[in-house]
Amino acid sequence: MKKEVKIMLIILGIIILLFLAIFINHQIGLKREAKLLTPIGQLVEVDGHNMSIYIEGEGDRTIVFLSGGGTCSPILDFKSLYSLLSDDYKVVVVEKFGYGFSDVVDKERDVAFVLADTRAALAAAGVEGPYILCPHSMSGIEALYWAQQYPEEVSAIIGLDMAVPEAYEDYKMNVPMLKLSQFAARIGIIRLLPGIAESEAMKYGTLTEEEKEIYKAVFFSRTATTTMMNEVSSIKENAKLVGEAGVPQVPMLLFVSNGSGTGWEEEAWTNYQKDYIKEVKNGKLIELNCPHYVHDHEYELIAEEISDFILSSL
């Protein structure tokens, strides 16, 4: 028995030393990458913390991009698309708390609070509405809530494979996996996984080599943050609230992926959006044969369709 205990203690000690080495390596990496984390846009104060917002272009209409859940660097993630639109429109990317260059805060992520932060950031940056909202994935819930609560501020919604309330009705949250991913990010285990920091924006978009390095640096400092975890924990209730309020009647254009990379059964994911758009009087849906991050794959086509939609519907 004593021998077995001794072996177990040795194994435990090795594991602790291994985790310590991984953590130290992670901290060294974060310190090395800090020079890459100069905000690309501007920082504005919201509720006593810094939020990052990026503005490009001077057009009469303003397109506001809202990132999907867990997208660590929204400004760079959307770049391939908004760079094709900024000659004709003012494009804005709001990085929520816990994302990109914004502060990580332990706040409630009720959809009303998330929207209040977004609106406060826009106001602080002097960006006035009405807005054309361009949400990706989970932020579709925020965009729909925005149109429900402040219809005078939303002239249209252009969904980039955006989530609709029905998608979360039977959503099963894998809490242990979320906790494990957060632990792996905090201790630095993610640095040991080859290619994990290479986003679809990096592989398929138009980012420069310098921007790719910045994206990687942001990834290692903004993956599975406390704010992101709080947001995911609240999404089911947020979606229920938005679903009960009905379908907002604003012009709506939905770009729908083939369902790959969503975490849902592929046909079910696309059908959620197809069913939703049927309830919109001035709505259009475009199916794309590409994965969930449609704006990193079909940015040229999407930019053309957005311009056509704005000209014909607004």
- Cα angle for residues 217, 223, 227 (degrees, 5° grid): 125
The pLDDT score that the predictor gives to residue 1 is 64
What is each CA distance from 123 to 45, 58, 74, 126, 238, in whole angstroms?
10, 17, 19, 5, 24
- DSSP β-bridge partners for residue 157: 133, 252
Q: What does residue 94 show for φ and ψ, rounded to 5 degrees?
A: -100, 120
In this structure, what token pair is assigned to residue 181?
């991913």
Contact 122, 94 (CB under 8 A): yes
The pLDDT score that the predictor gives to residue 168 is 94
The pLDDT score that the predictor gives to residue 2 is 76
Question: How far apart, in whole angstroms, are the C-alpha atoms of residue 184 and residue 190?
Answer: 6
Reported as half-sphere exposure (CB side, CA atoms, 13 A), residue 134 has a value of 26
User: Model-level pTM?
Assistant: 0.93
The pLDDT score that the predictor gives to residue 5 is 81
Q: Is the peptide bond before 130 cis (omega within 30 degrees of 0)?
A: yes
- pLDDT tens for the chain, residues 1 to 314: 677 888 888 889 899 999 999 999 999 999 999 999 999 999 999 999 999 999 999 999 999 999 999 999 999 999 999 999 999 999 999 999 999 999 999 988 999 999 999 999 999 999 999 999 999 999 999 999 999 999 999 999 999 999 999 999 988 877 788 888 889 989 999 998 888 889 999 999 999 999 999 999 999 999 999 999 999 999 999 999 999 999 999 999 999 999 999 989 999 999 999 999 999 999 999 999 999 999 999 999 999 999 999 999 88
SS3 per-residue string spanning the chain: CHHHHHHHHHHHHHHHHHHHHHHHHHHHHHHHHHHHCCCCCEEEEECCEEEEEEEECCCCCEEEEECCCCCCCHHHHCHHHHCCCCCCCEEEEEECCCCCCCCCCCCCCCHHHHHHHHHHHHHHCCCCCCEEEEEEHHHHHHHHHHHHHCHHHEEEEEEECCCCHHHHCCCCCCHHHHHHHHHHHHHCHHHHCCCCCCCHHHHHCCCCHHHHHHHHHHHHHCCCCHHHHHHHHHHHHHHHHHHHCCCCCCCEEEEECCCCCCCCCHHHHHHHHHHHHCCCCCEEEEECCCCCCHHHHCHHHHHHHHHHHHHHHC
Cβ within 8 Å of residue 59, ≥6 positions away: 86, 87, 88, 89, 90
